Structure 1
Amino acid sequence: MLSLALDGPSDAVPLALLADLKADLEITDNSSDARLNRLLLTASSLALDYIGRPIIAGEWQETIRVSPGEHLHEIVLSVFPVSDVRSIEHDGTLWGQEQLETLGLDAQAGLLSLQSHPRHGRWRHGLYIISYQAGFTPPSLIDGTPNVGTLPASISQAVLVTASALFSAGARDPNLKSESVQGVGSTSWNVSSGTGGLPQSAADMLEAYKGGHF
């Protein structure tokens, strides 16, 4: 099985609430809101880059090729959890409702199987275009009231830790640990290998969500 393309939401969204970031930083006025919102978006992008796969809720369309001779019992979708499979097209032919009802879906893992033949059902070779609804809903404000969404709290917390670090760093190198005074002593840096610019504690929180299924 080869996933050839994945199309879905592309707009950047913050993965944590501004109010939570301000509380962490003990900021009570609105003078820094524009900057804090920008840092939340930056931290969210860093978190998503580190995770390495799309996780935000939306309408997704995935093109998958099943090769001849491939004994495929399950199709693994790229975005999960899956809330609904809207349509499936196979080699240009759209599946009817009866065919869609033969699907077995492991929503949390994003696995599609042919429920009508649970032991022997195989996906026929060819090109599939699958449209589905999947992903986590980030926390947001609805009519001024916080909505926690479905995004795991550890992802939001990693974004808050990263945004706080960016705010505190200001114009300084965020990896700078210490520097000399009047040329006395030496300068040293905190360097975390492989974190993609995230603080190590934030990267640790996101580790479980990287790449494949969890």
Structure 2
Amino acid sequence: MLSIVTPATGTRLTTIAAVRAQAVVGDDVDDITVGEWIDQASASIVSHCRRRFARETVTQTFLRPANGPLILDRAPLIAAPAVVSDGLGLLDDEMECDLAAGLIYRLHGDCRGGWFSRRLTVTYTAGWSLPGSPDRDLPADIEQACLTLVAARAAGMGRDPMLRSRTVEGVGSTSWIASADMGALPPQAASLLAPYVRYVMG
């Protein structure tokens, strides 16, 4: 179970200014439309990667956790989390944290071991500061993937989204996208995002 303590101030993975600077869309597209496309592209990336990118402070609760590491829904962590086990806070030397991966191990002396807890709560801050923030630290390839999706949306204006290709010469050879392909990201964007796909969604 996860609850948000301090929500993100925004979720856009790029800015209208960046879209304009890279000439991703034409001047005939207004800022409101560009903003909507950025929102759509950002949501698609979140869904594809099974993770949220905007920095937030959250509390995650585990009931009778397994003996392995706690797998947090959000990553990367900004600092060591606050862990409370059955009402008692753990000290830093009682746990080991992999901040980048979002994993917490229970330490017994110098060895990793079981949690032996009925209820654990972990409060932590994770994610990145997004483009447009003075302290932005979102990896550039994630923003580029978002720009790629916005560019694809702009290029597809007025076209049938199910149409894959068309050959005119002898009037024929039209091919259509199979329903299984719908919603897939362009290969360029998917390649940029490959290192950020997670199997935990939070």
Same fold (TM over 0.5): yes
In the alignment, which residue of structure 1 is the partner of 2:102? Answer: 110
Residue in structure 2 matched with residue 129 of structure 1 by the alignment: 121
- Distance in 1 (CA, whole Å) between partners of 2:193 and 2:112 is 37
Q: Which residue in 2 is equivalent to 1:60?
A: 58
Structure 2 equivalent of residue 202 of structure 1: 189
Which whole-Å deviations, capped at 9, do the CAs of 1:93-152 have from their partners, x for residues lacking one?
Answer: 142xxx33333222112222235623154311312121111112211154xxxx5x2211
Q: Does 1:47 align with 2:45?
A: yes
Aligned to 1:81: 76
Instruction: Look up the equivalent residue of 1:7 and give its one-letter code.
Output: S
Residues 166 and 174 of structure 1 are in contact (CA less than 8 Å); yes or no, is this contact kept in structure 2?
no
How far the C-alpha of 1:156 sits from its partner, in A, is 0.8
Q: Please, which runs of 5 or more residues in structure 2 have no aligned partner?
A: none
Q: Distance in 1 between matches of 2:192 and 2:145?
A: 6
Query: Residue in 2 aligned with 1:22?
Result: 20
Report the Cα offset of residue 18 of structure 1. 1.7
Percent of aligned pairs with the same residue? 28
The answer as to whether partners of 1:85 and 1:131 remain within 8 angstroms in 2 is no
- The letter of the residue matching 1:118 is D
Aligned residues of 2:8 and 2:55 also touching (Cα < 8 A): no
How far apart are 1:169 and its partner, in Å?
A: 0.9
Report the Cα offset of residue 62 of structure 1: 0.9
Instruction: Provide the TM-score with structure 1 as the length reference.
Output: 0.76
Secondary structure of the structure 2 residue equivalent to 1:83: coil
Alignment of 1:148-163 (within 5 A): 149-163=136-150
Q: Residue in 2 aligned with 1:7?
A: 3
User: What is the rounded CA distance, in whole Å, between the counterparts of 1:194 and 1:150 in structure 2?
Assistant: 32
CA distance in 1, matches of 2:164, 2:112: 59
In structure 1, the gaps of 5 or more residues are: none
Shift of 1:15: 0.3
Q: Deviations over 1:187-209 (max 9, x none)?
A: 22356966734212111211221
Amino acid at match of 1:114: R
How many angstroms does 1:178 deviate by? Answer: 3.6
TM-score (norm 2): 0.80
Partners in 2 of 1:120 and 1:200 — Cα distance?
A: 40
Paired amino acid for 2:163: L
- Structure 1 distance, partners of 2:112, 2:26, is 61
CA distance in structure 1 between the aligned counterparts of 2:17 and 2:122, rounded to whole angstroms: 38
Query: Which residue does the alignment assign to 2:131?
Result: 139
Contact kept? 2:67, 2:113, Cα under 8 Å: no
Larger CA deviation: 32-41 vs 195-204 = 195-204
Q: Distance in 1 between matches of 2:118 and 2:186?
A: 44
Contact 1:59 1:132 in 2 (8 A): yes
Given candidates 26, 30, 33, the residue that maps to 1:32 is 30
- Indicate the larger mover: 44-53 or 22-31: 22-31
Aligned residues: 196
